[in-house]
Amino acid sequence: MASKQKITTFLWFDGNAEDAAKHYTSIFKNSKVLEVIRYGDAGPGPKGSVMIVRFQLEGQEFIGLNGGPQFKFTEAISLAVTCETQTEVDELWSRLSAGGEEGQCGWLKDRFGLSWQIVPAALPELIRDPDPARSNRVVQAMMQMKKIDIGQLRRASERGGASS
């Protein structure tokens, strides 16, 4: 018997939770809209309009609520996606940043205002290099990037070897 996810990320939208859920599930594999719940006679939204959308991204459940304009997303909360390849980084970056805005160091805001971190799996490995000079070069290279480029990080790690 599959266990139920104990902690679920709850996202507050201003009328576009269903659009967001459909957008996100079109981007990530193993993803789907699970349920759409509509407002009834009691409101507070218009009867028949979407109140809640339950959806899964890569098997993890999220809930989108059309709660109104009172609250906005901030960079204080972001969804981090670990990517195995540069191709995956490039694709997710392109699709999630479309209509949104690119930030520094692998961060972006999507068209709904939600912040994402598109992180190559190689990044933490390169930053944890036991050689502090190599680690520092990787961090310095990352700080100059918007979308993370794994090849540039690896080249930065290798610069300044025995000859420098």
**Can you give the residue ranges of every domain in the chain?**
8-70, 73-164
DSSP reduced 3-state for 105 = coil
Architecture of domain 73-164: Roll (3.10)
pLDDT at 1: 57
Pick the CATH number of 8-70 from 3.40.50.620, 3.40.50.300, 2.60.120.260, 3.30.720.100: 3.30.720.100
Element (H, E) at 101: strand 101-102
- Compute how many other C-beta atoms are within 10 angstroms of the C-beta atom of residue 73: 16
pLDDT at 45: 87
Residues in the chain predicted with pLDDT less than 50, given as ranges, are 161-164
Enter the pTM of the model. Answer: 0.90
